[in-house]
């Protein structure tokens, strides 16, 4: 199982690291530079409204499906047509809610037009994520990896023509249309490949003509998936509500939403790595907890498979996230200057705080995924609700006085609370036994990389990045946070 996990991590990280950094740092940054912070703040505010309510397009079905198919692969041909029917019905609910909120927010014709396009994009993206969840549940990580970048490849091609080619000038509306084309192509590709796979390996008579809205199935499926839905809604809210609160609470809210969006972009690129690690983690953890792959060694702090897998991924996440946070926070101006032409100081002041969120976000992707796989949805929802409350309270206090910087503090506070409490719940409920030595090694590594980043001379960005990365690996190896021997044993010996 650990070999499947490492293989999945390799392919999804390889393909995404080849494509998505250019998308986030080249295309999205190019679009924001082209349209300016006010216009992009207009787009980003409406995008976040569409994003927050996209859980209504899914209601937890995708996460439940990943966990369920990983445990019961033979159900895929029976569930797929019914779930597609459910998702088409949920589109009506989603449109009703988002447009009602837009109406209450006083949106005009241009806002509603963009909201309509972005809402349809969210539906297509939700469909892609659901279809990918079937590949993940079947442990087909190579196909999942290809589908995870296909939409971005199409968008890069279209937006490159608008930014640097003979195509029309970029606007936020045209940017949204490019997303529509990319998501639609990806959804159709995923559906075609999945259909062929089901016919070949599960049911030769399978047909998408059987797509239907079965009321009994919908009731059972939604009842089981609603805890997942609530969790996704709460987590999306405390991670994405900041630009909306900025636009509502500050007299220059649209401008500061644009500044926050610019700082958030590089954090989003870094967070992508942590998210991609969690993609194969959910089906792997689900099969481990379903098959009872634990031993009495867990109770003695031993190396049971679940405990050792959690420790392995935690080590990798800490090495990555602490190195990134230290380097980008202490040298935020250098990297914001690389991305943006104007307002660099304001972007940098927000980003220097916001980037520390990569550490708790990375831990949430490990321990939140473990708790999700183990079915601890009630505890996760309580923690997410408390995190949202912390985010809103800190924003209400900080935004009027500090603007986007105050929102950055609110985001990091909520993310840190969520990660810390998830770790406590996971350690207790899954009987993980972290040793004092293990915790000390994590602390020593964190202090070391912060010191290295702080002592760096004013080098170019690429030299600072390379030096910090090399130093992190050099420190992590003797502390056994990167255990080359263990990794080689898993790759060579595990079937």
Mean pLDDT of 354-369: 93
- How high does pLDDT run on average in the chain? 84
pLDDT tens digits along 121-164: 999 999 998 888 888 777 777 888 888 889 999 999 999 999 88
pLDDT tops 90 at residue 421: yes
DSSP string, 426-487: HHHHTT----HHHHHHHHHHHHHHHHHHHH--S--HHHHHHHHHHHHHHHHTTTTSS-HHHH
pLDDT tops 50 at residue 301: no
- Burial (CB count <10 Å: 0-12, 13-18, 19+), residue 439: exposed
DSSP state of 85: H
> Please, what's the largest Cα pairwise distance for the chain?
65
Query: For a pLDDT cut of 90, what percent of the chain falls above it?
Result: 35
Highest mean pLDDT among 56-70, 84-98, 195-209, 234-248: 84-98
Q: Kindly indicate the confidence band of residue 39, based on its pLDDT and cuts at 50, 70 and 90.
A: confident
- Give residue 245's pLDDT: 87
DSSP string, 347-401: HHHHHHHHGGGHHHHHHIIIIIHHHHHTT-HHHHHHHHHHHHHHHHHHHHHHHHH
CA gap 481, 463 in Å, rounded: 24
Q: Kindly indicate the confidence band of residue 76, based on its pLDDT and cuts at 50, 70 and 90.
A: confident
Phi and psi at 206, nearest 5°, equal -65, 140
Query: For a pLDDT cut of 70, what percent of the chain falls above it?
Result: 91
pLDDT tops 70 at residue 183: yes
- Which has more confidence, 251 or 110? 110
Token pair of 301 as six digits: 């702090």
- Give residue 357's pLDDT: 94
Residue 459 Ramachandran class (φ > 0 left, ψ -120 to 50 alpha, else beta)? beta
Mean pLDDT of 387-414: 93
- Which has more confidence, 166 or 454? 454
3-state secondary structure of 66: helix
- Give residue 210's pLDDT: 64
CA gap 65, 208 in Å, rounded: 18
CA gap 407, 183 in Å, rounded: 31
Residues sharing a CB contact under 8 Å with residue 240, sequence separation 6 or more, in sequence order: 48, 51, 52
70: closest CA among 139, 132, 122?
Answer: 139
Ranges of each domain in the chain? 1-226, 241-495
Please give the C-alpha separations between residue 243 and each of 41, 278, 406, in angstroms, as whole numbers: 8, 26, 11
pLDDT tops 70 at residue 428: yes
CA gap 397, 374 in Å, rounded: 37
How far is C-alpha 385 from the chain's CA centre?
18
């Amino acid at each position: 199982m650990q070999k499947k996990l490492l293989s999945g991590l390799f392919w999804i990280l390889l393909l995404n690291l080849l494509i998505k950094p250019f998308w986030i740092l080249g295309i999205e940054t190019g679009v924001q530079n082209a349209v300016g912070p006010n216009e992009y703040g207009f787009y980003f505010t409406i995008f976040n409204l569409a994003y927050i309510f996209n859980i209504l397009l899914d209601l937890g079905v995708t996460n439940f499906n990943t966990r369920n198919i990983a445990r019961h692969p033979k159900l895929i041909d029976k569930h797929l047509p019914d779930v597609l029917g459910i998702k088409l019905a949920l589109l009506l609910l989603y449109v009703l809610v988002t447009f009602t909120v837009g109406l209450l927010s006083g949106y005009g014709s241009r806002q509603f037009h963009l909201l309509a396009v972005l809402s349809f994009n969210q539906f297509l993206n939700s469909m892609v994520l659901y279809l990918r969840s079937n590949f993940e549940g079947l442990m087909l990580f190579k196909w999942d990896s290809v589908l995870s970048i296909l939409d971005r490849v199409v968008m890069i091609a279209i937006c490159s023509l608008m930014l640097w080619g003979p195509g029309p000038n970029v606007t936020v509306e045209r940017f949204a249309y490019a997303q529509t084309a990319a998501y639609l192509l990806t959804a159709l590709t995923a559906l075609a490949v999945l259909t062929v796979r089901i016919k070949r390996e599960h049911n030769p008579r399978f047909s998408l003509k059987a797509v239907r809205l079965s009321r009994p199935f919908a009731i059972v499926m939604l009842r089981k998936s609603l805890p997942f839905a609530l969790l996704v809604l709460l987590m999306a809210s405390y991670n994405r509500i900041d630009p909306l609160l900025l636009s509502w609470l500050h007299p220059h809210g649209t401008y500061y939403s644009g500044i926050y969006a610019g700082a958030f972009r590089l954090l989003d690129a870094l967070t992508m790595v942590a998210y991609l690690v969690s993609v194969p983690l959910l089906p792997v953890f689900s099969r481990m907890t379903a098959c009872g792959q634990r031993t009495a060694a867990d109770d003695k702090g031993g190396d049971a498979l679940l405990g050792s897998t959690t420790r392995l991924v935690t080590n990798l996440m800490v090495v990555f996230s602490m190195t990134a946070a230290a380097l980008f926070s202490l040298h935020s101006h250098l990297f914001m200057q690389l991305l943006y032409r104007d307002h660099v100081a304001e972007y940098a002041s927000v980003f220097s705080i916001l980037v520390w969120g990569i550490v708790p976000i990375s831990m949430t992707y490990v321990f939140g995924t473990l708790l999700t796989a183990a079915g601890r949805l009630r505890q996760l929802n309580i923690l997410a609700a408390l995190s949202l409350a912390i985010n809103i309270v800190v924003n209400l206090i900080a935004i009027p006085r500090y603007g986007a910087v105050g929102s950055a503090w609110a985001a990091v506070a909520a993310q840190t609370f969520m990660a810390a409490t998830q770790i406590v719940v996971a350690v207790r409920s899954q009987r993980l036994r972290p040793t004092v030595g293990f915790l000390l090694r994590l602390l020593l590594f964190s202090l070391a990389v912060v010191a290295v980043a702080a002592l760096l001379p004013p080098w170019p960005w690429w030299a600072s990045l390379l030096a910090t990365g090399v130093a992190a690996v050099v420190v992590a190896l003797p502390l056994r946070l990167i255990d080359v021997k263990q990794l080689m044993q898993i790759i060579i010996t595990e079937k």
